[in-house]
Structure 1
Amino acid sequence: MKLIYTRIAAAAASEAGTIANPDYYEYPNRSAEEVIIYGDYPKIQNDYEALDIPVEVRKLEESAKTTLATVNIAVGITPELQEVIDQAKADCEKVVEENGQLKQKIEILEKANGDSSELISENSRLKDAVLQADKATKTAEGKVVSIQAEFDAFKNDVAAMQARIAELEAGKAAQNPATEMATNDFESWSNDQLKEYLASKNIGYKPSASKAELLKLIPKE
């Protein structure tokens, strides 16, 4: 069994093994065949090496690089964000087109002879509509710029990208009945299954916790 000690489950998302939070470490798991430690935890390292169990210590910087590589593949522009951008652009194009049509009508009315009150009223209404259309155009353009700026900031925010990866993984697990059961089935899980589930949710637990204690840590849906 490969045992992975990390405070960030997403850092080891690409590896197969049992994840444990080093902050709750009490004693070594003698059934482990290989141990990977993210960060500086000399006690954990010494305990396993004393049992002649291979230990690999990885720096947090390496964890961050792995996370960023995963982000480049898994994140990008999400369908939800792309939908908002496309809708904003479509609204902007529609407003520009309507603006052009209104301006053409105004030009026709201004060239027409006569002081008809109907023409004057229509002229005034169209001018007001043009002003509103100009405002709507600027608002739509500003929305697109703001969305793009938020996305650019998101790409440079490692913490935000890690959170997004965790959401993607949680969503994938929720769609796969083979990897995650309904809440009512947690009672039938083994302690190791419960611990692995809690670790995937970034929920800390004591290695010596009983099944009842582990079940209390599972969030209520």
Structure 2
Amino acid sequence: MSDILVASNLVKRYGEVTALNGITCRFQRGKIYGLLGPNASGKTTFLKICAALTMIFQGQVLIDGLKPGLATKAKVAYLPDGDYFLDWMRVGDVVDFFSDFFPDFDRSKAGHLLRELELDNRTVASTLSKGMMARLKLAVVLSRRARLFLLDEAFDGVDPVTREKTIDIILDTFDRESTIILATHHIDYVDKLLDEVKLLRRGEIIREIAADEIRQMSGKSIGEYYLEVFRHEKAR
């Protein structure tokens, strides 16, 4: 499988704070990756660079062979950790906005996901609970026919039943020509989704391993493996 995303010696600083410290990694097409680490480990910064929202950094990032920018925005669907819809927008307006803004937006798929996630087009988005807002964000982002999906804490605030339903939807609809990167510190939420994991600590990738290798060779869940690695790192 070919690479959709390659990062080389990636460094990002905010003043005296180093958010990313020389990251080199690659992501292949057709896989779902977990970018796992505690808060402030650099996950969001990495995704923002890949989404062409943070343009000042050192090193190189290539998405389908292109540097992040206008050309890659058509290939990348980004779900940020935070709300970004205008207060007046109804759910249907959000769908219209995505449809107008992104040529690859699939309205039919969006309608299906909204029904599955029990979202009404007439509801004002700003009145949604945190969990319902998370459902809406997931529904519209996953309705794009993008090559690379960057999901930042996608299941934060989502109740367990909805989370399981959403994970099943992702697995059922995942296009093996695309790639998903899930950035989260809620490891147990995403265990069954992942093909590979990259563990991030203080702006550095400290482990890269296939999910099946964790499950089969160590007999551990990804969450158990994560805790073991970070306990060891903390003790160093």
Give the TM-score normalised by the residue count of structure 1. Answer: 0.23
- Higher relative CO (Cα under 8 Å, sequence separation at least 6) belongs to 2
Give the TM-score normalised by the residue count of structure 2. Answer: 0.22
Whichever structure has more helix as a proportion of its residues is 1
Whichever structure has more strand as a proportion of its residues is 2
Q: Which has the larger radius of gyration?
A: 1
